[in-house]
Structure 1
């Protein structure tokens, strides 16, 4: 993403589940960094992501933010292996994890700096799809795929997706995405308004960085004000829904159906839900 004569970015967070670089032009690059787990969200990653976004929020040098994932996938959602391992303690774990995810989603919407998400591989669940819906602009590679996935494991959408997705694609389409869990191609996501652009896979990094740099070169106060006005139209609705998402998610996590759904995903089989 940098040429031979280009000044290299400053590395602000060099290790851990979330990395952070700052380019000289004011682009902050946040990288989800659990590639072996498809950047699946556990509490450790979510805490690190919260800390990094807060660091960006407090850095006056940041003019725009690029959000990417390391490895084969942008973000495969919640870490189903970690969730299933919690057993009876899953509701408490989900309650904390969902709270951190909601805080991060709110912060992304409230940052003065515009946020561009670059999606490759899968963007799934409250993590992947939630971060996509909380970003200001989204660029995807041609082979990218999107999946809601919450009801597939007997849970509900979180990260404010029950509001943001509806605003992006409409009520009927959101119902279909959240209840039937279709795998959505990049072309389909573009057509329905979930994302802004589709580019060849091998050009995703460069195209997303170029778009983020275009935003970084804009008038910061005007862009921040525009972003605030656009999100404020649904911001109260998003943040009002999040506590109910959290409560419902924790309640469902205590049911046997949730553990069955997680096990079915890991074992690559159809779940057998019993409604309890």
Structure 2
């Protein structure tokens, strides 16, 4: 990132940080690097609050979303989920609701959202944020993974609709049910990301795109964004309550607990249908 005047810090610490830079670019940073920015209730609540803060700040002309550490976002925090035991469905119900609120808020923001993606973007969190962003700049070593059915759950954050629109029905079925690890080049070819750049250039390229958008006509860009999202927005919002219900139900099954344990143990899960 090039030198600029010192940004205004809007959220200084916690699981999400937010700064306003010169030219009107808000930098929104996921800040749980020790957990690969895995999503728990605290991070999700902070993310939603930060997006609402951006929504209420007329100075913001574009948003840059990044993840601290080695990964953009590895999805839900499986360690936290597994630790909840029999209380997991209640926790998942809250977490999924907050993730859906954050994803909807990103979609409905007037300023365009650019996500700079590195490492892994996985699960409902990683894929959900990718699918809810307007532009995705990915480093060439980035990998994408849906992963929900791998732990006996379902996609959330509206991914059951947005991914289908981005890559097509058949490919979305393959991604969500077979859980292939998708390279950045494959993601670009299928329409999941906007640009793929060398890893060392990721932040510079993402900042350049965010600044280009921030210099545009804000009302024209906001209305163009709204027109494009309105075509699928109602479908996304209709799907989210169904995703939430299914997620909460499935998280109470033995298969879901086995799937989470298998991810932590780095082994293949043994599903029994219970």
Query: How far apart in 1 are the matches of 2:177 and 2:169?
Result: 12
Query: How far apart in 2 are the matches of 1:15 and 1:235?
Result: 32
Number of the residue aligned with 1:92 = 90
Number of the residue aligned with 2:221 = 223
Number of the residue aligned with 2:183 = 185
Q: TM-score, normalised on structure 2?
A: 0.99
Match of 2:201 among 192, 200, 203: 203
1:232 aligns with 2:230: yes
Do the aligned partners of 1:165 and 1:174 also contact (CA within 8 Å) in 2? Answer: yes
Deviation at 1:8, TM superposition (A): 1.9
List alignment gaps of at least 5 residues for structure 1: none
Deviation at 1:10, TM superposition (A): 1.2
Number of the residue aligned with 2:7 = 9
**Runs ≥4 in structure 1, deviation > 2 angstroms?**
none
SS across alignment from 1:214: helix
Spell out, residue by residue over 1:146-205, the C-alpha distance to the aligned partner (whole angstroms, 9 max, x if none). 000000000000000000000000000000000000000000000000000000101100
Number of the residue aligned with 1:115 = 113
Matches within 5 A, 1:1-276: 1-3=1-3, 6-276=4-274
RMSD, aligned α-carbons? 0.5
Query: How far apart in 2 are the matches of 1:181 and 1:14?
Result: 36
Spell out, residue by residue over 1:206-238, the C-alpha distance to the aligned partner (whole angstroms, 9 max, x if none). 100000000000000000000000000000000
Do the aligned partners of 1:2 and 1:8 also contact (CA within 8 Å) in 2? Answer: no
Query: How far apart in 2 are the matches of 1:140 and 1:250?
Result: 31
Do the aligned partners of 1:76 and 1:127 also contact (CA within 8 Å) in 2? Answer: yes
Aligned residues: 274
Query: How far apart in 1 are the matches of 2:22 and 2:116?
Result: 20
Deviation at 1:104, TM superposition (A): 0.4
List alignment gaps of at least 5 residues for structure 2: none
Query: How far apart in 1 are the matches of 2:256 and 2:93?
Result: 14
